[in-house]
Amino acid sequence: MIKEHKGTILFAGNFQYQFREFAMARALKELGWQIEPFSWEDYTPLTFIGRILFKYMLGRTVKRINADLLSICKRTKPDIVFLCRPNYISTATIMALKSHCRLIATWNPDNPFGGYNLNSAMKYKPTGIYRLLFPLIVCEKAIYFRRLWSKLLRALPLYDICFVYRSENIEKYKQAGVEKVYHLPSFYDPALHRPMTLIDADKKCYERDVVFIGHFEPDGRVQYLEALLDNDIKFQLYGQSWNYYLSAKIKKMFSDPIRPIFGINYTKTISGAKIALCFLSKLNLNQYTRRCFEIPACRTLLLCERTPKMQELFMEDREAVYFSDPLELVAKVKYYLAHPAERNAIAVAGYERCMSSGYDVANRMKICDEIFNQELFSTTT
C-alpha cells in the first residue's frame, strides 16, 4: 500500500538492473514519495568511440547526462535529488542542482576508497591466447580505475547526505568532507529473490550441485574453483569478465563463453542449486555483498568467505556456512552435498533470518525515509 504523498524524489542512476535502482525507487514510492526517475543507461552511445569515452566518464554523452539531469531538476523542482552511484555527475552539476531542490543525497554500492589502483590492475593476468594482451589490459584497467571515482570524490563535500554500503566507509567519507554520512546496507528484492519450485522443463537447465554467480576478480576465486575441480566437484559459473582469465582447467569444463545472468533466470539458477557460493570483492574491500542476502532469500544454502560481518549477519553453520581457504571450501561442499537434511535446514534458517532481520529493500529504504523526513522537517523550522 502506498502511503500519503511526502514529497518528490528525482531518483537518478543506471536503472539497468531490477535488483538496484528499480527496487529502491519502488520501495520509496511505497513509503509515500513521488519518484521522478532519470536513467543514464538510456544514454549509452551506439558508436565504438562513444562507448569508450562513456566508459571513462568523458565526452559529449557525459555532458548531455549532466545537462539533462539539471534540466529535469529545474522543471520538476523535487524535494530531494537522490543519485545512485553517480560517477558521471560533475561538481558543477551538483552545485547547480542545489538551487533547485532542498536536499541532495547519494548512495554508492561500490567503494571509492577501495583497491582501485595500479597494483590491482597488475593482477589482471589473462590466460591462453589472451596473454599477449597483458600490457594492454593493465594499461586499460589502470586508466579506468583512475577515472572511475574521480568525479564522485571531487563532488563528495557538496552532498547534503551520503549513504554508504559499508560502515567502514563512514569515517572515510567524513574525512573527504561529507558532514552527514549514514550506513545503508545492501538488500534483496522479494519481488525477484524468492524460493522457486522449478517446473520439469527448467530442471535440466537450472538444477546443479554448486553454482557461482559473480564477476571475475584476481582475488583467488579462480584458485577456489580449481580446488573444486581437483576434487571432482563440478559447478556452474556465470558472470562478467571471466573469459580472458579462465585457467585451462576451468576452460575444459565449459564449451561456451561464461556470461552473466539476470532477472528471473538468476533466481531460477540460485533456486536450482544445492549450494550457492559467494566470493567477496577485494577491490571493494567487502566484508559482505548483496548476494549474501539474495541467496538465502531464495532458500538456497549460502557458502561464503568468512568475515566478522558475515558471521554477524548469519549465524555460522546454522544460517549460512563459511570458508577461509580452498581446503575448507572443498570440505564444506563435500559435507553438505552428502548431508541434504542439514543443508536444507541451514537454507531454511538463512531464509528465515532474511525475513526476520529486515534485509529486504523495503526495510532498507525505511532508513532513507526516516532521514529524509528528519532533514526536510528540520529545514522548515
* DSSP bridge pairs for 275: 210, 301
Q: First vs last Cα of the chain: how many Å apart? A: 30
The answer to whether residues 305 and 206 belong to one domain is: yes
More confident residue, 135 or 3: 135
Q: What does the alpha-carbon distance between residue 289 and residue 378 come to, in Å, rounded to a whole number?
A: 33
**What pTM does this model have?**
0.94
CB-neighbour burial class of residue 34 (10 A; exposed 0-12, middle 13-18, buried 19+): middle
The strand order across the sheet containing 181-183 reads: 33-39, 7-13, 80-84, 103-108, 161-164, 181-183
Q: In 10 A of CB 25, how many CB atoms? A: 22
Phi, psi of 255 (to 5 degrees): -85, -25
**Residue 308 domain-assigned?**
yes
The answer to whether residues 173 and 231 belong to one domain is: no
Q: What does the alpha-carbon distance between residue 154 and residue 77 come to, in Å, rounded to a whole number?
A: 25
Grid cell locating 363: 526495510
**Residue 124 domain-assigned?**
no
Would you say residue 381 has pLDDT above 50? no
**Residue 139 domain-assigned?**
no
Lowest mean pLDDT among 169-178, 265-274, 370-379: 370-379
Q: What is the dihedral of CA 226, 230, 235, 237, to 10 degrees?
A: 20
Would you say residue 217 has pLDDT above 50? yes
Q: State residue 1's pLDDT score.
A: 53
Assess contact for 236 and 260: CB atoms under 8 A: no
The answer to whether residues 234 and 368 belong to one domain is: no
What confidence category does residue 377 fall into, taking pLDDT thresholds of 50, 70 and 90?
confident
Which residues 6+ apart lie within 8 Å of 204 measured at CB?
Answer: none
Q: State residue 380's pLDDT score.
A: 46
Q: What does the alpha-carbon distance between residue 84 and residue 79 come to, in Å, rounded to a whole number?
A: 16
Q: State residue 255's pLDDT score.
A: 79
**Residue 44 domain-assigned?**
yes
Across the range 224-245, mean pLDDT stands at 96
Would you say residue 12 has pLDDT above 80? yes
User: Looking at the 3D structure of the chain, how many domains does it have?
Assistant: 2
What confidence category does residue 2 fall into, taking pLDDT thresholds of 50, 70 and 90?
low
The answer to whether residues 232 and 179 belong to one domain is: no
What confidence category does residue 215 fall into, taking pLDDT thresholds of 50, 70 and 90?
very high
Mapping DSSP onto H, E and C, the string for the chain reads: CCCCCCEEEEEEECCCCHHHHHHHHHHHHHCCEEEEEEECHHHCCCCHHHHHHHHCCCCHHHHHHHHHHHHHHHHHCCCEEEEECCCCCCHHHHHHHCCCCCEEEEEECCCCCCCCCHHHHCCCCCCHHHHHHHHHHHHHHHHHHHHHCHHHHHHHHHCCEEEECCCCHHHHHHHCCCCCEEECCCCECCCCCCCCCCCHHHHHHHCEEEEEECCCCCCCHHHHHHHHHHCCCCCEEECCCCCCCCCHHHHCCCCCCCCCCCHHHHHHHHHCEEEEEECCCCCCCCCCCCHHHHHHHCCCEEEEECCHHHHHHCCECCCEEEECCHHHHHHHHHHHHHCHHHHHHHHHHHHHHHHHHCCEHHHHHHHHHHHHHHHHHHCCC
The answer to whether residues 318 and 373 belong to one domain is: no
Mean pLDDT of the chain: 95
The answer to whether residues 181 and 225 belong to one domain is: no
The answer to whether residues 98 and 27 belong to one domain is: yes
Q: In 10 A of CB 217, how many CB atoms? A: 21
Q: What is the pLDDT of residues 77-123, one digit of tens each?
A: 999 999 999 999 999 999 999 999 999 999 999 999 999 999 999 99
The answer to whether residues 102 and 225 belong to one domain is: no
Across the range 138-151, mean pLDDT stands at 96
The answer to whether residues 93 and 68 belong to one domain is: yes
- Domain CATH number, residue 16: 3.40.50.2000
Contacts within 8 Å (CB) and 24+ apart, 76-80: 76/8, 76/10, 76/36, 77/8, 77/101, 78/7, 78/8, 78/9, 78/10, 78/36, 79/7, 79/8, 79/9, 79/103, 79/376, 80/7, 80/8, 80/9, 80/10, 80/33, 80/104, 80/105, 80/372, 80/376
The answer to whether residues 172 and 37 belong to one domain is: yes
**Residue 26 domain-assigned?**
yes
- The whole domain housing 58 covers 7-112+149-187+361-378
**Residue 126 domain-assigned?**
no
Grid cell locating 106: 547519494
The answer to whether residues 269 and 333 belong to one domain is: yes
Across the range 296-325, mean pLDDT stands at 98
**Residue 269 domain-assigned?**
yes
**Residue 128 domain-assigned?**
no
The answer to whether residues 45 and 100 belong to one domain is: yes
Would you say residue 379 has pLDDT above 90? no
